[in-house]
C-alpha cells in the first residue's frame, strides 16, 4: 500500500511534494476503500493524476527539462492504465483495479519519484 514517507519521498520542491502527498493519500484511501466507495475514489485518483501530470508537464517546460519526452511518455502510459482500469470498474469489474492500487501503483510511484521526478526537481533547482 502506498504511504507518504517524507524522508524517502520529499524532493525539496514544495509544489511537487504537495501534489505527491495528495496522490499518496488518495492512493492509500483507495487501497483501504470498501466496495461501495472504491469506484468514486478511483475516479478521484484518476482526476487528480491527470491534473498532477499536467502540472508536471508545465514544470518541465519551465525548466527546459531535457527528458521531457520520456517523462511525459511515462505519464501517458500510467494514465492509459488508469483509464482502462476505470472502464473495468464502470463495467462492474474492480478486481484488477484493486490489485493495481495495492501492488502496482506503489512500486511505480516509488520508482518514478526516485528517477524521473527527482531529475525534474533537480532541473527546477538549477533553473532558479
Domain 13-127 top-level CATH class: mainly alpha
Quick one: pLDDT at residue 102?
94
Contacts of 15 (CB under 8 A, 6+ apart): 55, 59
Q: Three-class SS of residue 99?
A: helix
State yes or no: pLDDT of 128 exceeds 80.
Answer: no
All cell numbers assigned to 31:
487501497
Task: Provide the 8-state DSSP code for 16.
Answer: H
Percent of the chain topping pLDDT 70: 99
Using the Cα atoms of residue 19, residue 24, residue 28 and residue 30 in order, give the sign of their dihedral.
positive
Say how far apart CA 24 and CA 9 lie, in whole Å.
10
pTM over 0.85: yes
Domain boundaries, the chain: 13-127
> Per-residue pLDDT tens for 54-76?
999 999 999 999 999 999 999 99
Quick one: pLDDT at residue 71?
97
Helix axes 118-127, 38-62, angle to 10 degrees: 40
**Mean pLDDT across the stretch 75-79?**
97
Which one is predicted more confidently, 56 or 128?
56
Amino acid at each position: 500500500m502506498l504511504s507518504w514517507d517524507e524522508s524517502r519521498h520529499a524532493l525539496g520542491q514544495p509544489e511537487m511534494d504537495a501534489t505527491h502527498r495528495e496522490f499518496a493519500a488518495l492512493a492509500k484511501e483507495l487501497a483501504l476503500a470498501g466496495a461501495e466507495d472504491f469506484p468514486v475514489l478511483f475516479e478521484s485518483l484518476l482526476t487528480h493524476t491527470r491534473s498532477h501530470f499536467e502540472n508536471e508537464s508545465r514544470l518541465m517546460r519551465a525548466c527546459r527539462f531535457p527528458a521531457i519526452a520520456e517523462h511525459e511518455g511515462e505519464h501517458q502510459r500510467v494514465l492509459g492504465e488508469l483509464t482502462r482500469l476505470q472502464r473495468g470498474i464502470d463495467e462492474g469489474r474492480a478486481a484488477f483495479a484493486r490489485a493495481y492500487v495495492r501492488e502496482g501503483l506503489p512500486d511505480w510511484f516509488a520508482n518514478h519519484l526516485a528517477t524521473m521526478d527527482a531529475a525534474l526537481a533537480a532541473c527546477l533547482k538549477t533553473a532558479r
